[in-house]
Amino acid sequence: MEKVRLGIVGMGNMGSGHATYLTAGVVPNVEFAAACDTDPEKLERVKERWPDVPVFDTPEALFESGIVDGVLIATPHYFHPPLAIQALGKGLHVLVEKPAGVYTKQVREMNEVAAKSDKVFGLMFNQRTNPVYQKLRDLVKSGELGEIKRTNWIITNWYRSQSYYDSGGWRATWAGEGGGVLLNQDPHQLDLWQWICGVPTRVRAFAGFGKFHDIEVEDDVTAYVEYENGATGVFVTCTGEAPGTNRFEISGDRGKIVLEDNQLIFWRNRVSERQFNKEYKGGFGQPEVWKCEIPVRGKETQHPGITENWATAILKGTPLLAPGQEGINGLQISNAMHLSAWTDDWADIPVDEEKYYKLLQERVATSTFKKKSGASTVLDTGSTY
């Protein structure tokens, strides 16, 4: 193969966006070979815009067609794992939009199927292509910052109006979307947080459900986490603040790094704090600190970059920047935050999957989306992507 023949499942905003850059030739090793959606109106729009692309009204028909080598799943969240499992079972490579799924029990099953296959399984964590996050990760993983003591991420620049939530009956509902800001807006940050700093061991979260909007899911979260080495962290997110903030700070033995406005500032201790604490005899004092503006080179390739990386892995066996199996890591954190807020207690990571699933289903049962559509979840409607 010189190109991967790609079928896109779900031709809403994200699916159409992927199709746009593919047909523009931005990703030279991928051909937009087929489109699938259960909504006839969306398929008609596909036919008008890309008349030469075959269309399918069911995923099963696409998976059986033999005209694609892999699929990109860009459907509502609940569909991601079951469709990935079906596609892998048909011998197709799979690329899944974020998040990996709604709950870890579902995503773990997907990961197990992928692990038993010989197919390339990737996740659309396009923020991993951003050189500033890659450099931050390098500084942490290389030991330049020393052992992590504290992490703090304030990510409140996700402002959404009520009209945004009113634009689709499935939006911001437990049955339709499976969560709010943690599952819709923050999967990228939760992934980057664990990708750079590791997965915490437990969390205590406080959430406002419909605090700033007429919705049933969370739109405001403050969470405190603990790590295995004793480090702590705070994650604050919201869709009801304007203007918002995006500031990520990591404190370590050798100083602190602040990422804000796409700039990295390393406040570097000349000697480690632990060494200074042990040796200094002058009473008041602290290590000499240097303000270092970290140069960041490279281009952020976003969605096309992840797609091209996934296709190159298929064609040449190169490593994935965002392996699909890693999608469960950030979801562990968001599930634990939900569980902690629901129970008003600590939640361990890995999360108690059965308890989480039980409490989620209780919320799905009374969801406004269920009442409007008659479906237990978005999976039952068969016409929502």
In a domain, 287, yes or no: no
pLDDT, one tens digit per residue, over 94-139 is: 999 999 999 999 999 999 999 999 999 999 999 999 999 999 999 9
Say which range, 87-91, 131-135, 165-169, 262-266, has the weakest mean pLDDT: 165-169
Percent of the chain exceeding pLDDT 70 equals 96
Same domain, 52 and 193: no
What is the per-residue pLDDT for 171?
87
Q: Is 370's pLDDT higher than 70?
A: no
User: What is the DSSP annotation of 197-254?
Assistant: H---SEEEEEEEETSSSS-SSEEEEEEEEE-TTS-EEEEEEESS-SS--EEEEEEETT
Whichever domain contains 173, its CATH number is: 3.30.360.10
Same domain, 109 and 186: no
Same domain, 109 and 204: no
What is the per-residue pLDDT for 265?
98
Residue-number span of the structural domain to which 134 is assigned:
128-141+148-245+293-299+330-380
As for how many domains the chain has, the answer is 2
Mean pLDDT, rounded, of the chain = 95
Whichever domain contains 113, its CATH number is: 3.40.50.720
Same domain, 89 and 236: no
- pTM score > 0.75 for this model? yes
What is the per-residue pLDDT for 383?
40
Nearest to 108 by CA among 351, 354, 325, 385: 325
Same domain, 112 and 232: no
Q: Is 385's pLDDT higher than 50?
A: no
What is the per-residue pLDDT for 382?
42
Same domain, 18 and 104: yes
Same domain, 239 and 181: yes
Same domain, 345 and 202: yes
Q: Is 372's pLDDT higher than 90?
A: no
What is the per-residue pLDDT for 67?
98
pLDDT, one tens digit per residue, over 217-232 is: 999 999 999 999 999 9
Bond into 243 cis (ω within 30): yes
Percent of the chain exceeding pLDDT 90 equals 94
Q: Is 371's pLDDT higher than 70?
A: no
Same domain, 71 and 179: no
Same domain, 158 and 94: no
Distance in Å from the first CA to the final CA of the chain? 30
